[in-house]
Amino acid sequence: MNTPYFGNLTERMNAFRENLLDAKSYACAERAVLTTESYKKYLDQPVVLKRAYMLKNILDNMTIFIEDETLIAGNQAKENRFAPIFPEYAMDWVINELDEFDKRDGDVFYITEETKDQLREIAPFWENNTVKARGLAAIPPKSRVCYDLGIIKAEGNITSGDAHIAVSYEDVINHGLVSFEQRTREMLESLDITTIENQKKSYFYESILIVIDAVKAFSNRYAQLAHDMAEKETDPKREKELREMAMRCEKVPYHKAETFHEAVQSIWMIQLILQIESNGHSLSYGRMDQFLYPFYLKDIAEKVITEDEATELLVNLWLKTFTINKIRSWTHTQFSAGSPLYQNVTIGGQTKDKKDAVNALSYQILKSVAQTKLPQPNLTVRYHAGLDDQFMKECVEVLRLGFGMPAFNSDEIIIPSFIERGVSEEDAYNYSAIGCVETAVPGKWGYRCTGMSFINFPKTLLIAMNNGVDPKTGTRLAEGVGHFKDMTTYAEVEQAWDKVIREFTRHSVIIENSCDLVLEQDVPDVLCSALTEDCIGRGLTLKEGGAVYDFISGLQVGIANLADSLAAIKKLVFEEERFTSVQLWDALNNNFEGVEGEAIRKLLVNDAPKYGNDDDYVDQLAVDAYRSYIDEVVKYPNTRFGRGPIGGTRYAGTSSISANVGQGRSTMATPDGRKAETPLAEGCSPSHNRDKNGPTAVLKTVSKLPTKDITGGVLLNQKVTPQVLAKEEDRMKLIALVRTFFNRLHGYHIQYNVVSREMLLEAQKHPEKHRDLVVRVAGYSAFFNVLSKTTQDDIINRTEHVL
């Protein structure tokens, strides 16, 4: 067999990878039990201290192990790929679904009877005592209806905490936790606690000291374990590795790192612990090719490490990254199919002084991620006009492997957009991707630059057409402007949309604020806050307004369906009078059943302009409709406004992740000819098979959206067949396509699935033969075979650009 373009994994990393692929995902009760223990014991403590003691108890007592193949220490749960349970966020779904985990249609988790018993035993303590319980209780009734009917969803926030953040790894490796400890001590000592504000700050500072100490002790546990293993090791090479590992674990992350290997160990330990502290996902590494580069360069120059050793170490880090697992409720799973963790690594882009930032480590990261070829980490390349063809070609080589990476974010729109919002120029040039497509300044930005709540746009339109009443349940959700059946002009439809979407936007704000209120009060993340500037300086946790910047966004789902629906209504009902509004409304309610229904559906599909074809008629309708949302949402600050951060406000975002499937399921037939319960369009991509003019037209359409105001991310998924990229000259044309999108059309993000339809169909038929087939779902990649049939089909049906 030919050597792959990026070379083969080393033997031991290949063995490690195989073991991880073999490992079954189990639910793990260990963290849940230890958390419950601490919560009971420290019931009387201020909440930050309780959280600190909880983390300490887990780190002191959880099972630890060091795999035979690894050069980096640190594990999340009892075994690799086991998913811990985080009872403080939500426990009801865990108990309700205990017997269902292994019977799911996708994202199957196994569970032992012992684990079930342990979870059932602790469950009573958490009854009405979780973030979810308090979060739902905090949502006022009118907004709660929107939540319950699935128009606005925020299940991620309410059942699993925040994350969606990159902490300051740069400071961790360059100064060690000891520097954070020192600063905290100084702040604490100088604090006059006669005011209640300061007294509260003192709790936070105390909790940081507890947590840093716990992290140090945790790392020392690995040092001890490595020592013990070295004592028993018969292979002298491995014995030496274990002894060195022990020394590293004694040193970092508490002290600053001095070698590349120490820096990697330090980063991993923190990345890991942050995902034990909180159940939030999209915990991202930030610009790893930048902050690790000085270590890499020094070690290569001083021959401390070879390039191949560095590749192996990075692969090791990615395999460790992949060991992290997360179990979600079944309903939430439909929004985040494939149990993604969205641990993003960003490379490329520009330096703070505006020069091309690509360096030897950027290539190393590309190579190591390509070799690893797993759903984690999620690799993003920051594009800018000065990125050279050599690096772009290397990126395309990774794309050709078909696992959906890297995704591209563009400096050309994101940096100016940040600067306009008040981000300093230096920080704006240092942004990184967070999770999937969203962006923030690592180490300085609060949680959830996107990922707040999801609004179902097409369903909102249907409610607007139905005079503000949910067609399914008859519940009045908003004041309407009359029923579609009585409307005589398109302007009335527009008016109805504008009124209802603004009302729902307000509800989404209320729901988000309810979640944030409870997350702030119930589950502050001590370590995550400590590692984000300026939480220590202000003595505030992230949710209290500790971050330098704090902009958030929700996710708007089904933009293409909304656009196509509006165009079909405008053209076929009001301009051409092909059928009446009554006929259309009836057809929608009957899900296009019957001869007349089907005839209407055909006209809707075939005779109206479609989003994604560079047709101004429909594209402008999308822009106008989206404007109503954007215009409304910016009015409402988040819960940190005026408490310290720059920003404290909201903007729009389109990364629907796999919510298009989940929200599609609860949405009746739509005027774009889409049948009830089928998936909505994802991100800002066109609906399946509705883009007939090829990729340039899609990019043109997407570029008409007010991207500058959708700073939360404009997610565009494209699929091309592997043959398209078989020839060098065609690969260059793909690069030109991407360059045009970013340089001239000011696109925000693009990602490619380079996998053939046949391959996916084959994998559906013979999952056993394709256990490591990784595909792009939305802003992230996942194992194809872990996905439910509906999500698999959704991916298969995405328009494939064949040349």
Partner 1 sequence: MKACVFNIQKFSLHDGPGIRTVVFFKGCPLRCKWCANPESFKLQPELMWDPVKKAEITVGEYKTLDAILDEVMKDIDFYEESGGGVTLSGGEVLAQAGFATELLKQLKANNIHTACETTGYTSPAVFAEFMTHVDLLFFDVKHYDNTRHAAGTGVSNELILANLATAATLHPNLLVRIPIIPNYNDTLEDASGFAKLLKEHDIHQVELLPFHQFGEKKYEYLGKDYALLDLPQLHSEDLAEHQRIFEYHGIKCRVR
The residue count for binding partner 1 (CB under 8 A) is 19
Q: Is 84 in the site for partner 1 (CB under 8 A)?
A: no
Q: Is 702 in the site for partner 1 (CB under 8 A)?
A: no
Nearer to partner 1, 21 or 736 (CB): 736
Q: Is 803 in the site for partner 1 (CB under 8 A)?
A: yes
Minimum Å distance from CB 265 to partner 1?
43
Distance CA 131, CA 543 (A): 14
Contacts of 603 (CB under 8 A, 6+ apart): 572, 578, 579
Q: Which of 146, 436, 515, 535 is catalytic?
A: 436
Measuring CA to CA, which residue among 682, 777, 745 is closest to residue 383? Answer: 745
Minimum Å distance from CB 704 to partner 1?
11
Q: Is 696 in the site for partner 1 (CB under 8 A)?
A: yes
Is the separation of the CB atoms in 291 and 173 below 8 Å? yes
Nearer to partner 1, 223 or 724 (CB): 724
Nearer to partner 1, 691 or 794 (CB): 691
Is the separation of the CB atoms in 474 and 559 below 8 Å? no
Q: Is 620 in the site for partner 1 (CB under 8 A)?
A: no
Minimum Å distance from CB 740 to partner 1?
4
Nearer to partner 1, 289 or 614 (CB): 614
Is the separation of the CB atoms in 319 and 372 below 8 Å? yes
Minimum Å distance from CB 757 to partner 1?
15
User: Is 146 tagged catalytic?
Assistant: no
Minimum Å distance from CB 356 to partner 1?
18
Minimum Å distance from CB 737 to partner 1?
6
Q: Is 694 in the site for partner 1 (CB under 8 A)?
A: yes
Contacts of the segment 116-124: beta carbons below 8 A, 24+ positions apart: 118/29, 118/32, 118/33, 119/27, 119/29, 119/32, 119/85, 119/87, 119/91, 119/94, 119/95, 120/95, 122/32, 122/33, 122/36, 122/87, 122/91, 123/87, 123/91, 123/94, 123/95
Q: Is 614 in the site for partner 1 (CB under 8 A)?
A: yes
Measuring CA to CA, which residue among 410, 431, 408, 435 is closest to residue 421? Answer: 431
SS3 636: coil
User: Is 438 tagged catalytic?
Assistant: yes
Q: Is 800 in the site for partner 1 (CB under 8 A)?
A: no
Label each residue of 48-107 as H, E or C: HHHHHHHHHHHHHHCCCCCCCCCCCCCCCCCCCCEEECCCCCCCHHHHHHCCCHHHCCCC
> Between residue 729 and residue 748, which ones bind partner 1 under the rule CB under 8 A?
730, 733, 736-737, 739-740, 743-745
Q: Which of 30, 312, 394, 438 is catalytic?
A: 438
Q: Is 722 in the site for partner 1 (CB under 8 A)?
A: no
Nearer to partner 1, 238 or 739 (CB): 739
Q: Is 697 in the site for partner 1 (CB under 8 A)?
A: yes
Minimum Å distance from CB 613 to partner 1?
10
**Among 695, 713, 747, 779, which residue sits at the site for partner 1 (rule: CB under 8 A)?**
695
Nearer to partner 1, 175 or 393 (CB): 393
Handedness of CA 245, 249, 250, 253 (dihedral sign): positive
Measuring CA to CA, which residue among 500, 508, 505 is closest to residue 452? Answer: 508
**Among 606, 642, 765, 768, which residue sits at the site for partner 1 (rule: CB under 8 A)?**
606
Residues across the chain? 803
Nearer to partner 1, 311 or 410 (CB): 410
Distance CA 248, CA 594 (A): 70
Measuring CA to CA, which residue among 241, 253, 359, 249 is closest to residue 300? Answer: 359
Interacting residues toward partner 1 by CB under 8 A: 606, 614, 693-697, 700, 730, 733, 736-737, 739-740, 743-745, 801, 803
Active-site residue list: 436, 438
